[in-house]
Structure 1
Amino acid sequence: MNKEPDCIFCSIIAGDIPSTEVATSEHAYAFRDLHPAAPSHIVVVPKRHHPNVNELSHTDPELTGHVVALAAEAATKDGLDADGWRLLTNTGEHAGQTVQHVHFHVLGGERLGPLNAPRN
């Protein structure tokens, strides 16, 4: 793992900040979001620091697959398979990315609404 000193997700992966693990693999880590946006809200991060999904997919597409596979495993462990779940990532300021370590949100446990309000 390459750890960025000011990255909260790197600190979580390193065990410096506590988290509630849902699933883990050699390549990625899934844990409960502290401020859930749905009854089930899991954050999935690669163990190696990459700032966003664009950079990750270009420099390490195989790792991208590992992260998505762990997201599916975490959703299954949380019992989301029967009714479905959403996988979401934000890339860049306009998308709302607030932590510069690529991460995916697994959301489920209730009927989810649309991603954005209709545009006028």
Structure 2
Amino acid sequence: MTTIFTKIINREIPADIVYENDYIIAFKDINPQAPIHILVVTKKEIPTVNDLGPEDRILVGEAYLALSKIAKDLGVSEDGYRIITNCNSYGGQEVFHLHFHLLAGKPLGAMLSSN
């Protein structure tokens, strides 16, 4: 099944692309949860983190290198940012194509606790 992210990768639907290389594409989220909300998406269709294999080491490394570069380019690396990857329904995953959320631009507060 083709995801919305695959359609963006294939330029079938528009996106505000901020970075791209052979492994990943990054674009602004259309429903931002912070002043800066970038999605970094693998070009290889991998449904969830659970579906990663040893052959995907370079791909995941490229995603994190891109996240770091994007944070620096947007001027948020010093103040800080959050990277989120959701996995399956309890994790809040909505699009089943591996992606990373970069959130920044304001204090993001503490993560949820189990209290």
TM superposition score normalised by structure 1: 0.89
Runs of 4+ aligned residues of structure 1 deviating over 2 Å after TM superposition are 56-59
CA distance in 1, matches of 2:110, 2:15: 29
What 5-or-longer segments of structure 1 have no aligned partner? Answer: none
Matched, 1:119 2:110: no
Residue 29 of structure 1: aligned partner:
25
Q: Work out whether 1:52 is the aligned partner of 2:48.
A: yes
| C-alpha distance in 2 between matches for 1:47 and 1:14 | 9
1:38-63 C-alpha deviation (Å, 9 max, x unpaired):
00000000111000122125441221
Between the aligned partners of 2:26 and 2:49, the Cα distance in structure 1 is 16
TM-score by length of 2: 0.92
* Aligned residues of 1:57 and 1:64 also touching (Cα < 8 A): no
CA–CA distance in structure 2, aligned partners of residues 44 and 60 of structure 1? 15
Q: Give ranges in structure 2 of 5+ residues lacking alignment.
A: none
**Could you say what secondary structure the match of 1:93 adopts?**
coil
Identity score, percent: 38
> Matches of 2:54 and 2:88 in 1, distance apart?
16
Task: Give the number of equivalent residue pairs.
Answer: 115
